[in-house]
Amino acid sequence: MKKIIAIDVGNSETTVGVGNSNEWIGYRFTTRKTITSDELLMMFKTIIDIEPIKENKVDGAIICSVVPQITNSVALATSKFISKEAIVVGPGIKTGLKVNIDNPKELGPDRIANSIGGYMKVKSPVIVVDLGTATTFDLVNEKKEYLGGAIAPGIKISLDALTSKTSSLKSVELETPKNVVGKNTYEAIQSGLILGHTSMIDSMIEKIILESGLKTKIFITGGLGKVIQPLLNLKSQYEENLTLDGLEEIYKLNN
């Protein structure tokens, strides 16, 4: 299989994958909205080790970004890094996904990639839950049609809001608490954030399935997905690189 560079620029983190769906060599950076293309290029050259793929070279690159301020900088730096023009998911790019919502242009490129990544794994209806800055739910049917979704505040945003708007509540580690009923403030916050968010996801998925009438496979992805997925009551599968897998499929369609 061809090896590519797939980049997912999120509001909090930027994920870079080198390889393909068989194996991604992953890198994560904090997203800085003021970073220049030259700074990014230096970062790529310093941090990204392309030694494992030198024999076959990198075929190309694809980018999805929800931070428009730096999309062009990322594209320019990536194109210089591999000496080939990078594909940016957006208008005019083939995705193979029919978007059946009021305004298809509103759907973020990361959610398009997630939907495609999930669908391509099973070729049947899927719900994809991405636990990033926001927690997003996306629904795709058996015809590879995107039917809509939901957006909720992410766990880290909820924690930031809780600690910044109160005088006595402090930040906690985002780990699974030992008990639902906390014995102190620290445990109580952990329970509300982690177990409360888990309950919300379980309930939302149940409501989506009931409303759509679809028998779906459930995929969980995103930074905190590996913490939340084992706690869900519903049967689901954690896919760390689902967005990158979706980007690879879009890359293939456009080459």
- For Cα atoms 210, 140, 249, give the angle at the middle one, nearest 5 degrees: 160
Distance CA 169, CA 165 (A): 9
Beta carbons of 87 and 47 less than 8 angstroms apart: no
User: Which strands, in side-by-side order, build the sheet including 60-65?
Assistant: 23-30, 13-20, 4-9, 60-65, 87-88
Residue 82 token pair: 């591999």
Q: Which residues are catalytic?
A: 110
Beta carbons of 13 and 30 less than 8 angstroms apart: yes
Helices (H) and strands (E) in the chain, counts: 8, 11
